[in-house]
Structure 1
C-alpha cells in the first residue's frame, strides 16, 4: 500500500478507497493523496470536498479509480 500511496502523490492520481470510520461504518471515498506521515494519510477527499486525514489501519481497500463504461 505504501508504494501505491507514494506513487499517487507523485502522479497526482485519484484513488478509490473503502474506509472504516471511528463508528465502524464503512464509506467509499475518492481521494487525492497529499502526504503520508507514519500511519496517517493526508488527502483531499472529493466526497467531503476538503482535506482529511485517514489512519492507514482503517483503510480496508484502496486502488486506482475504476472508470465505469458507458452502456455497461
Structure 2
C-alpha cells in the first residue's frame, strides 16, 4: 500500500514544526528574574518608581495644603 501525502497535510506538518521551533526559541525570563539581576542598570524596578511617586504626591498635597492655609490667612 502506498502512502499518499497531500499538500494540505504536508503544509500542516511544516507549520507545526515551525511553531515548535518558534516555541522553543521564546525567552522564558520573567519580570522578577530581570528585577533580581542587576546586570543591566536600566532595569525597571517598580518599587522604586512607586516610592518616588508616593513621595512626589505627598509633596504636592503638602504644597496644596500650604496654599489653602495662606489663602485663608489673607
Normalised to the residue count of structure 2, the TM-score between the two structures is 0.18
Normalized against structure 1, the TM-score is what? Answer: 0.19
Structure ranking higher in helix proportion: 2
Tell me: higher relative CO, structure 1 or 2? Use CA pairs within 8 A at least 6 residues apart: 1
Structure exhibiting the larger radius of gyration computed from Cα positions: 2
